[in-house]
């Protein structure tokens, strides 16, 4: 006689559903992904494009200011980082409220050898960080060589 039955591979499907799917644990850890992303645990998406004159990186980072960004070049790598701290206080006679918020991210991009690192510029406008990476001329000179037929 089989006392425990399996349905669809789950040994205790109703117990699992009661605990996890119905929100017994708060916040619901199974579906916490979107909630965590809304609280700043997200790396901003980037679009990278190339023209004859430059490479361009457009980073979508709404809600930040120009002073929140830090751009560095280290060993041929462009490092973009941001850190934003906020604190809200509300002190009244009957209660005190303090809320803290801390959001940060770091993105790194390996730069090709044909860029002018000292001419890189960045501009933040309407939630988008636009980075222009100018190219330098690379002259490939192929020497002419005569081969003797023997």
Asked if residue 149 belongs to a domain, the reply is no
**C-alpha dihedral (29, 33, 37, 39), degrees to nearest 10:** -10
Domain range enclosing 15:
10-39
The mean per-residue pLDDT over the stretch 48-54 comes to 93
Asked if residue 1 belongs to a domain, the reply is no
Q: Check residue 18 and report its DSSP letter.
A: I
In terms of pTM, does the model score above 0.85? Answer: no
Asked whether the predicted pLDDT for residue 5 surpasses 60, the reply is: no
Residues 62, 25 within the same domain: no
Number of domains composing the chain: 2
Asked if residue 102 belongs to a domain, the reply is yes
Query: What residues form DSSP beta bridges with 99?
Result: 88
Q: What is the pLDDT of residues 65-100, one digit of tens each?
A: 899 999 999 999 999 999 888 777 777 777 777 777
Average pLDDT over the chain reads 76
Residues 66, 90 within the same domain: yes
**pLDDT for 14:** 52
The mean per-residue pLDDT over the stretch 113-128 comes to 93
């Amino acid at each position: 006689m089989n006392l425990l039955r399996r349905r669809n591979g789950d040994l205790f499907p109703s117990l699992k559903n009661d605990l996890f799917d119905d929100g017994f644990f708060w916040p619901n850890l199974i579906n916490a992904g979107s909630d965590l992303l809304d609280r700043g645990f997200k790396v901003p998406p980037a679009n990278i494009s190339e023209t004859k004159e430059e490479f361009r990186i457009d980073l979508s980072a709404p809600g930040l200011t120009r002073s929140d960004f830090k751009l560095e070049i280290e060993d041929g790598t462009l490092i973009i980082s941001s850190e934003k701290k906020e604190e809200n206080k509300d002190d009244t006679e009957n209660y005190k409220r303090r809320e803290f918020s801390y959001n940060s991210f770091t993105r790194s991009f390996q730069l090709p050898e044909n860029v002018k690192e000292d001419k890189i510029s960045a501009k933040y406008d309407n939630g988008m960080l636009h980075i222009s990476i100018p190219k330098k001329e690379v002259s490939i000179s192929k020497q002419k060589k005569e081969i003797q037929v023997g």
